[in-house]
Amino acid sequence: MLGLDPDPSALWTATDDEPAPGGEPRERAARAVVSHCRAAIDATAPACVGVKLQLARFELLGAPGWGALEAVAAHAREHGLLVIADGKRGDIDVSARAYAGALFDGAQTPFGELPGLGADLATVNPLMGVDSLEPFVSAARAAGAGVLVLVRTSNPGARDIEDVPVQGGGALWQLIASIVDDLAAGGVGESGLSDVGAVVGATAPDHVRRARELMARSPFLLPGIGAQGGRVEELAAAFAPGRAAGLVTASRSIVGAYLTTGGEPAGAARAEAERLREAAWTLSIEAAANVR
Amino acid sequence: MLGLDPDPSALWTATDDEPAPGGEPRERAARAVVSHCRAAIDATAPACVGVKLQLARFELLGAPGWGALEAVAAHAREHGLLVIADGKRGDIDVSARAYAGALFDGAQTPFGELPGLGADLATVNPLMGVDSLEPFVSAARAAGAGVLVLVRTSNPGARDIEDVPVQGGGALWQLIASIVDDLAAGGVGESGLSDVGAVVGATAPDHVRRARELMARSPFLLPGIGAQGGRVEELAAAFAPGRAAGLVTASRSIVGAYLTTGGEPAGAARAEAERLREAAWTLSIEAAANVR
């Protein structure tokens, strides 16, 4: 998974390379972001199964940013890649339905059909409870897409709330995992994997193992590789249900690989994406062998 | 607080009233949403201190939706109203900074200065911990704005995670309240109120009382009045620190008042907003008297 988290001050395309300068700063930044993301996709597509688009970076660009998000998603689809909308949305029912429409398949209105982003997967925040998740799950299911619920994230602050011990035993994230497993039961496909998955940070391998025990049918999105310190070699448990059960995602360590290795950004990104793919592949084969 | 949660199929302005028909459905819907929201603001501004904009509804309209959001926020400011961006964002540090830039004061980039929405307050989701909240708090503080952390929401699903008893006593939301109170300590203004506030659903008055004990300096945003069943008369505790300490917000019960009372939408909305304002006002005076 190529994570695209485009920082306007660290793009491959320098400001002066812009094909069509002019326009307000947000429009110029959005054009440069699209060109950067397209180049990163072109460089790494053969080594990736999808892209994870960090919505915050696009939102900072206002209306031109939403256009950029759509253009990047379309480019990824042309390469046959999955599109993960990483927005971590969560809200009460009517609002969750609107978010789900925006990210998956749009909405019918008196003004005509509004298109959605057409994401294959979207990250969602479970704090507000099951009724805030269900509209995302229904909309995803209707669109042939899926959701990835935040269970145990990769940042140090995960300890403040997600790791809090709850009465009856276990940490809060384990209770969230059991909610995810319940939701996942309703959407298990022929592959044995559900359309309700989980975000489980790659920075805490012990948690990945325990999470896999609690959510046997859910695909895991595993962020935190590279810049945040996680190592793909430690994530075998994620792949236990099959090769597609673990989605290893890295953003800065792929797109910014040239900063440490030197050389051309595209070549360095491709090499790092290949390295991660091979590590995940080897791991998933070993995990499958252990299951047998 | 006028909650603006514009459903494209329930706008005051009917499709055929559009001043400039044509364009793609999202553009037409966005124009109609702006015209609806402006009319609702014009009708209720004298009875409100601000507007709460539900970002999900604007996001469903894509790029034209972000333009609509900016136009509605600008219109509210022209009326001297506070603008609350209700997006419930929450993410790791770099992403939280991007969201905060989008909602508060923008960002400096090699392409020039990107404007932010200029919100006075933004709702944020604390699940990922203190390091996911701090970038919002810093950005808000630098912009003279504030954040409203989800503590105990108004939806039934709040019981699934927020109400879970944690080891050491109390519910998870009370632990979140203590995190909010710590963050609030760093930003207490001359009024005695902090720039770090809390979202506390008006649907559970007992929780409002307990939340006020745990967060003495935080303004409370109190959603759930009206359509979700909350009653303003039961919220006295929220106002204990002063009249500005409780921000009662209602969306569908104001904008949709005409559906139950009959008559013209604008007049019915104005009457309902006045009724809520008077109830909150009376309550805040009584609360202040009890404190003395």
Provide the pLDDT for residue B19.
54
* Contact (CB<8Å) B161/A154: no
Q: Is residue A18 part of a domain?
A: no
Beta strand ranges found along A11-81 (DSSP E):
50-54
> Has residue B21 been placed in a domain?
yes
Spatial separation of the C-alpha atoms in residues B23 and B21, rounded to whole Å = 7
Q: Closest Cα partner for A22 from A31, A11, A9, A14?
A: A31
pLDDT in tens, B257-287: 999 999 999 999 999 999 999 988 888 888 7
Tokens of B266: 């604008």
Residue A114 lies in a domain: no
Residue B169: enclosing H or E segment and its boundaries? none
B150/B284 same-domain check: yes
B contact residues 24-53, partner A, Cβ 8 Å cutoff: 24-26, 28-29, 32
Residue A96 domain-assigned (yes or no): no
**Residue B145: per-residue pLDDT:** 98
At residue B225 the predicted structure's pLDDT band, cuts being 50, 70 and 90, is confident
Residue A22: band (very low, low, confident or very high) from pLDDT cuts 50, 70, 90? confident
Phi, psi of A113 (to 5 degrees): -80, 125
Contact list in A for residue B131 (CB cut-off 8 A) is 155-157
Under an 8 A CB cutoff, do A8 and B131 touch?
no
Cβ pair B126:A127 closer than 8 A:
yes
Phi, psi (rounded to 5 degrees) for A99:
-60, -45
Bridge partners of A211, per DSSP, are none
- Same-domain pairing of B290 and B181: yes
B270 in the same domain as B162: yes
CATH of the domain at B222: 3.20.20.70
pLDDT tens, A276-291? 999 888 888 887 777 5
Element containing residue A247 per DSSP (H, E):
strand A246-248
Chain A touched by B165 (CB under 8 Å): yes
Q: A12-21, A155-164, B158-167: which range is least confident on average?
A: A12-21
Q: Are A56 and B96 inside 8 Å of each other by CB?
A: yes
Provide mean pLDDT across the span A133-154.
Answer: 97
> Does the beta-carbon distance from A164 to B172 stay under 8 Å?
yes
Across the interface, whether the CB atoms of A64 and B63 are under 8 A apart is answered yes
Scan residues 122-151 of B and list those with Cβ closer than 8 Å to A: 125-133, 150
In the A/B pair of chains, how many CB contacts fall below 8 A? Answer: 237
Contact at CB, B98 and A60, closer than 8 angstroms? yes
Residues 6+ apart with CB under 8 A from B240: B212, B287, B290, B291
CA distance A273 to chain B (A): 22
Percent over 70 (pLDDT), chain A? 96
Region B239-259: what's the mean pLDDT? 91
Residue B233 scores a pLDDT above 90: no
Among B15, B109, B125, the residue with its CB nearest the CB of A8 is: B109
The pLDDT of residue A18 is above 70: no
Q: Residue A169: inside a domain, yes or no?
A: yes
Q: What is the pLDDT of residue B22?
A: 72
3-state SS, residue A100: helix
Q: Given B80, B96, B128, which residue is the final one in a domain?
A: B80
Q: Residues A208, A200: contact at Cβ < 8 Å? A: yes
- In-domain check, residue A46: no
State mean pLDDT over A18-32. 83
Record the tokens describing residue A28, joined without a space: 């110029």
Mind listing the pLDDT tens digit for each residue in B138-155? 999 999 999 999 999 999
Residues of B in contact with A7 (CB under 8 A): 94
* B63 Cβ under 8 Å from any chain A Cβ: yes
Average pLDDT over residues B62-71: 98
Domain final residue pick, B62, B80, B98: B80
Chain A, window 229-288: residues with a beta carbon less than 8 angstroms from a chain B beta carbon: none
How many separate domains does chain B show?
2
Chain A residues with CB under 8 Å of B57 CB are: 95, 98
Measured between alpha carbons, how far is residue A82 from residues A51, A195, B56 in Å? 6, 14, 23
My answer on whether B184 and B290 are in the same domain is yes
pLDDT (tens digit per residue) in A90-117: 999 999 999 999 999 999 999 999 999 9
- Is some CB atom of chain A closer than 8 A to the CB atom of B161? yes
Q: What is the pLDDT of residue A8?
A: 95
Q: Residue-wise over B220-246: b if at least 16 C-beta within 10 A, else e?
A: bbbbbbbbbebebebbbbbbbbeeebb
Same-domain status, B178 and B271: yes
Q: Which of B128, B167, B183 to mutate to test the interface with A (most CBs of A within 10 A)?
A: B128
Whether A63 has its CB under 8 Å from any CB of chain B: the answer is yes
CB contact under 8 Å between B127 and A126, yes or no, is: yes
> Which stretches of B106-264 are assigned E, i.e. beta strand?
107-109, 112-114, 121-124, 146-152, 196-200, 220-222, 246-248
Active site residue A88: yes
Is the CB of B118 inside 8 Å of chain A's CB atoms? no
- pLDDT value for B18: 56
Chain A interface includes B155 (CB < 8 A): yes
Task: Mark yes or no for CB contact A59/B99 under 8 Å.
Answer: yes
CA distance A146 to A133: 12
Residues B156, B243, single domain; the answer is yes
Write the pLDDT tens digit of every residue in B24-48. 999 999 999 999 999 999 999 999 9
Average pLDDT over residues B58-85: 98
Residue A176: inside a domain: yes
Cα-Cα-Cα-Cα dihedral sign, residues A128, A148, A9, A258 = positive
Confidence of residue B203 (pLDDT cuts 50, 70, 90): confident
pLDDT at residue A5, rounded to an integer = 96
Determine, for residues B175 and A161 on separate chains, whether the beta-carbon distance falls below 8 Å: yes
Report the residue of chain B nearest A177, measured CA to CA.
Answer: B161
In a domain, A189, yes or no: yes
Do both B37 and B171 map to the same domain?
A: no
Spatial neighbors of B170 by CB under 8 A, at least 6 apart, are: none
**Vertex B147: Cα angle to B127 and A228 (nearest 5):** 45
State whether B76 and B177 are in the same domain.
no
Q: What distance in Å separates the CA atoms of residue A84 and residue A87, rounded to the nearest whole number? A: 9
- Catalytic choice (B26, B77, B79, B88): B88
What domain range is B7 assigned to? 1-80
Of A59, A66, A107, the CB nearest to B98: A59
- The per-residue pLDDT for A13 is 75
pLDDT at A17 over 60: no
Please indicate if any CB of chain A lies within 8 Å of the CB of B110: yes
Mean pLDDT over A125-151 rounds to: 98
- CA within 13 Å, CB half, A171: 14
B90 interaction partners in chain A (CB closer than 8 Å):
88, 125
Any idea what DSSP says for residue A16?
G
Question: Is the CB of A20 inside 8 Å of chain B's CB atoms?
Answer: no
Query: Do the bridges between strand A246-248 and strand A220-222 make them parallel or antiparallel, or are there none, so unpaired?
Result: parallel
Spatial contact of B31 and B22, defined as CB atoms under 8 Å apart: no
The verdict on B94 touching A (C-beta cutoff 8 Å) is yes
3 state DSSP class of B4: strand
Region B13-28: mean pLDDT is 72
Q: Which of these three, B80, B114, B131, is where a domain ends?
A: B80
| Residue B14 pLDDT exceeds 70 | no
